[in-house]
Amino acid sequence: DGSDDNEDDDAPSIAPRRAAIKENPKKDSSAPEESRQEYQKALLRKLNERAEARLTSQDDKVSSERTRKILNSYKSEGQLPQDPDIQDLKLYVDKRYETVILPINGVATPFHISTIKNVSLAVEGEYIYLRINFYNPAGIGKQADSIDKENVYIKELTYRASNEKKDDVAPASNNLSHVHKLILETQKKFKDQEQERKQMEGVVKQAALTLNASKTNPKLKDLYMRPSLANKKINGTLEAHTNGFRYTSVRGDKIDILYSNVSHAFYQPCDNEMIILIHFHLKHAIVFGKRKQIDVQFYTEVGELTTDLGKHRNMHDRDDILAEQAERDLRNRLKAAFKGFIDKVIQQKNFPFEFEQPFRPLGFHGTPHRSMVLIMPTTTCVVQLTEWPPMVIVLDEVELVHFERVHFQLKNFDMVFIMKEYSQKTYSIQSIPMNELDPIKNWLNSCDMCYTEGPQTLNWSKIMKTITDDLSGFFVQGGWTFLESDGDSAKEGIVEDSDIEEDDYNPDEDDSAEEGSESEYSGEEEEEEEDFQEKDSDSDESENLGSDEESGKSWSELEEEARKADAEKLDYDSDTAGRTKKKGDDSKKRSVVLSKKRPARSPPPTNNKKKKK
């Protein structure tokens, strides 16, 4: 609230203020704009100080770059395969060690498959060409600094073989075609392995789930899981054990979630929603369905998710009334079942976390992924759980919030979350209605979250890269205050525009400005204008009417001219009508005279003789 700017320099802790929201989540509790801005300036100053102290201590970790992993095919020459093709200096692919052995200046030279960028095969006349392109410092780009530039790097190699068949012996080009095929297969296999290895990064092996043999364990039946274990929806049962949850599907799939691996747990009831759910945001990703997942959700549907609009029913139809009553009863039973399950789980000994519930009155609409959804804050997060994929942003991990495209002419704006770990990607929520801006500011202000605003959309990937490249220089130049200066400049521009609009319009000033600009023309242009004015005096008078106030006509003179013009138009219309009528009478008389003078046309001759058979 507005009293926060009168407190001491030390900002109050975030947890008590967020707990206050839980007690009274009212959306219209707004603070005065001036006090809110003053409090945000103090938060921004303290944010820069804390961020500088935190990041400079971790400067080595932040500035360290990933080095390209160098894979050696063989540790010694004795590991080379003893194959006749290698001794005959032919191209050879060793699938076991994922290596291509190429003859160079009479020496069999091994190259690991990771050093090969691409291969191509071309036929030109009697020869076939195999071209092999390698990764080199010029082609690696960002990782070029991590390569020892004192060494000599090969950019490409090209081998040629003849297509001609001699004395029932296979042409030499067959070996090139075979090697080309093997290289592509080995590359595909290596890339698949690398992709799988990257997916498994960050996955921590969980401890075993301790099962509780008691039949009174908290249990929820007929639940669906997201992400799904199969292409179609399969329901199952969620059961709480000694140190974690176990979900068992109807076909026998089992997913274990330990209590120690849950970062945040959410319970969203089915009020104004078509599903009721329990959502777990994990500390470390778990793997199922050959993919790692950081968010796991269990839900059940309430009523029909789709409605058939083709059915014509009466609003007082007894079947519809009974269906609505049955849906209300189902909602109440589901809420009671989920609430009972959560209460029993929390009552377990040494249970480490609580289930948070979103605050619907504080929600706002936005587009985090593809569609417009309702985004709701909780005690510690900002979430969207109804549609998949979900959105879970932990407020303790957010450095500051920036509002983009904030302009009085626009209907929507964007909201960008900048994380404390600058290497992480920023999170953006787009197309938020402009009338939600003040409530969001009040909520962030009440949570001690620093925010800034500006009229433009920024390229955050380049901004974050520039910041991480020179952290000390970034904070020496003011840190995140550059976002605040953009917002202030935009506001000043808006104020200047409004001042211009509020001023009284004075045509004399505009005309004098135009005359001043015309006086700056060169002498040649003035002479041309004088010649033109002598040739066309009428146009000169019309121009002078707009620039000279004394030559302008009064309203009475203009009304008299309009009256005369209307009278002349009426006279012209009457004369035109008379001439048209007279012309019609004259044309009729001429036609009568011509018909009298024209001789009668004789009938065609006929043969009156009777024909005889």
Compare 394 and 53 and report the one with higher pLDDT: 394
Q: Is pLDDT of 457 > 70?
A: yes
For all residues of the chain together, what is the average pLDDT? Answer: 76
Give the mean model confidence (pLDDT) for residues 505-515. 42
Sketch out the chain's domains with CATH numbers. Answer: 77-199 (2.30.29.210), 204-304+322-356 (2.30.29.150), 358-484 (2.30.29.30)
Give the tens place of pLDDT for each residue, 205-240. Answer: 778 888 888 888 899 999 999 988 887 888 999 999
Give the 3-state secondary structure of residue 382. Answer: strand
Give the 3-state secondary structure of residue 412. Answer: strand
Question: How many CA atoms are closer than 13 Å to the CA of 387, on its beta-carbon side?
Answer: 11
Question: Is the pTM higher than 0.85?
Answer: no
Residue 156 parent element (H or E): strand 156-162
Give the tens place of pLDDT for each residue, 262-293. Answer: 999 999 998 888 899 999 999 988 888 778 88
**Tokens 């320099």 map to which residue?**
9
> For residues 127 and 118, is the Cβ–Cβ distance under 8 A?
no
What pLDDT, on a 0 to 100 scale, did the predictor assign at position 214?
Answer: 83
* Sequence-distant (≥ 6) Cβ neighbours of residue 93 within 8 angstroms: 99, 100, 101, 179, 182, 183, 186
DSSP string, 414-473: EEEEEESSTTSPPEEEEEEEGGGHHHHHHHHHHTT--EEE-SS---HHHHHHHHHH-HHH
Cα–Cα distance for residue pair 256/286, rounded to 1 Å: 9
Cα–Cα distance for residue pair 219/237, rounded to 1 Å: 7
Q: Is pLDDT of 577 > 90?
A: no
Compare 518 and 404 and report the one with higher pLDDT: 404
Cα–Cα distance for residue pair 384/266, rounded to 1 Å: 11
The most confident of 12-16, 401-405, 522-526, by mean pLDDT? 401-405
Q: How far is CA 46 from CA 40, 416, 556, in A?
A: 10, 20, 70
For CA atoms 213, 214, 218, 223, the dihedral sign is positive
Quickly state the pLDDT bin for 322 (edges 50, 70, 90).
confident
Give the 3-state secondary structure of residue 487. Answer: helix
